[in-house]
Amino acid sequence: MVTNEHTAAIRAAGLRVTRPRLAVMEAVDAHPHSDTETILAAVRDTLDGVSRQAVYDVLRALTDVGLVRRIQPSGHVSLYETRIADNHHHLVCRVCGTVHDVDCAVGEAPCLAASDDHGFHIDEAEVIYWGVCADCVAASDAPE
């Protein structure tokens, strides 16, 4: 059961297990790459009356301890996901804003090894691929 996994993860992160934290983890799992409003609506389906501020606070706490990842493609609101165990990347549609996971960047460009690490111990590379999704391409090709 997902709730048991979330309970264990929250405890392991040193946080107290609360109904709002469990509800937010389940909502983010069910709706990856969702904004706060979508997560709030999903949480309210489970916990009627939970405040907007409570959801914001939970998202911040879960992000701070690394249980939730926040991404913010340029020009977009923050989006959240629970896929945190790998260094995956994202593909964003310029038209509708749809976001998809991309497991690994391959090839020569974009490069993932910094030409000069300036003494940093690099542990992550964030790549966002931009383009137009198949649905939006099909819609733009449709006769009017």
pLDDT, tens only, 16-58: 999 999 999 999 999 999 999 999 999 999 999 999 999 999 9
User: Containing domain of residue 131, as a range?
Assistant: 86-141
The partner residues of 92 in beta bridges, in order of sequence, read 99, 130
Are both 45 and 20 inside the same structural domain?
yes
Read off the pLDDT band of 86 (50, 70, 90): confident
Residue 111 lies in a domain: yes
37 labeled binding residue: no
Is there a single domain that holds both residue 63 and residue 23? yes
What is residue 1's predicted lDDT score, i.e. its pLDDT?
A: 52
Looking at the structure, do residues 56 and 15 belong to the same domain, yes or no?
Answer: yes
Query: Is residue 42 within 8 Å of residue 30, measured between CB atoms?
Result: yes
Closest CA to 96 of 127, 131, 126, 71: 131
**104 annotated ligand-binding residue:** no
Q: Which amino acid is present at 98?
A: T
Say how many domains are in the chain.
2
| Cβ atoms 68, 82 nearer than 8 A | yes
Residue-level pLDDT at 143 = 67
CATH of the domain at 44: 1.10.10.10
111 known member of a binding site: no
Higher pLDDT, 2 or 88: 88
Residue 69: helix, strand or coil by DSSP? strand
